[in-house]
Amino acid sequence: MNERDLPLAEALQHTFQNGRLLAVALTHRSAAFEASSKKTRALEHNERMEFLGDSILALVVSDELFTRCPDAAEGVLTRMRAAVVNEARLAETAARLGLGDALRLGRGEERTGGRGKASLLADTLEAVFAAVYLDAGMTRAREVILAQLSAAIDQVILGADTNRDEKTLLQERVQARRNLTPTYDVVGTEGPDHERVWHVEVRAGDDLRARGQGRSKKAAEQDAAGHALRLLEEVAATPTPPVTGGGDG
């Protein structure tokens, strides 16, 4: 294993049998493109591992929530999982692990601050989880993922009310945070009467809008509310940039 990768491996508390897997997981496509353009030895980048890691992460978190929240409905579990694996939370975890320092980036991506980009950090963390899976199997991948995200899962479970429906939860949170009441509008239907699918849009302010669908208007509203809840949590988890300047000069 390359010495530059050792701090990350130690932070993950995983000893890689195949160090190349971690190296690939940490290689952004910009670095691979530059190597190819220079006609040097081709580098394999991490996009395929991101794809695999995304699925592994979703399975591990879904299984943990399913086991620990036996009374939670499907929509609640979906919302809880989204709160655990959203980009902001994954980027925060990646930064804590020092993943940004270990990234292999092209010069252009380096110049534009790639080591601190939330989307890039989150995607690379998923690739690293895939590397652990490929190196040591699902049991070990689950251990590593839960070691890094257990606090987030605890927080989401403690903050969730699994006995209330999505519309109620959305209304309570929007009213508390924005002093608004969500509005629902039917935006379309399709199919014959006995198999009709309803499409509903929910809005709460200019920046919170989501759509859902279902076999009844009520089900579509619940689906839309679930999507809106996930958007609301993602907005809440995104750091607000500091205000600069001020005054009239």
Domain locations in the chain?
A: 3-159, 166-237
The pLDDT value recorded for residue 241 is 52
Confidence of residue 42 (pLDDT cuts 50, 70, 90): low
Q: Which of 54, 109, 123, 166 is catalytic?
A: 54
**1 vs 66 pLDDT, higher one:** 66
Q: What DSSP assignment string belongs to 74-104?
A: HHHHHHHHHHHHSHHHHHHHHHHHTHHHH-B
Q: How many CB atoms lie within 10 A of CB 91?
A: 25
- Amino acid 135 reads D
Give the highest mean pLDDT range of 22-26, 86-90, 170-174.
Answer: 22-26
Predicted confidence (pLDDT) at residue 58 exceeds the cutoff of 70: yes
Backbone angles phi, psi at 5, to 5 degrees: -90, -15
Residue 124 sits at the vertex; the CA angle it makes with 111 and 148, to the nearest 5 degrees, is 125
* Cα–Cα distance measured from residue 123 to residue 42, given in angstroms and rounded to the nearest whole number: 21
Q: What's the whole-number average pLDDT of the chain?
A: 84
Residue 54 bears catalytic tag: yes
List Cβ neighbours of 51 (8 Å cut-off, separation of 6 or more).
none
Residues 131-139 have a mean pLDDT of 97
- In percent, the amount of the chain with pLDDT more than 90 equals 34
**246 vs 74 pLDDT, higher one:** 74
Asked if residue 24 lies in contact with residue 131, where contact means CB atoms within 8 angstroms, the answer is: yes
CATH class of 3-159: mainly alpha
Residue 195 bears catalytic tag: no
**193 vs 42 pLDDT, higher one:** 193
3-159 and 166-237 have identical folds:
no
Q: How many CB atoms lie within 10 A of CB 79?
A: 24
DSSP 196: -
Backbone angles phi, psi at 123, to 5 degrees: -65, -40
Asked if residue 141 lies in contact with residue 52, where contact means CB atoms within 8 angstroms, the answer is: no
Hey, is 33 helix, strand or coil? helix
Residues 16-33 have a mean pLDDT of 87
The pLDDT value recorded for residue 244 is 47
Q: Report the CATH number of the 166-237 domain.
A: 3.30.160.20
Q: Which of 126, 135, 223, 233 is catalytic?
A: 126
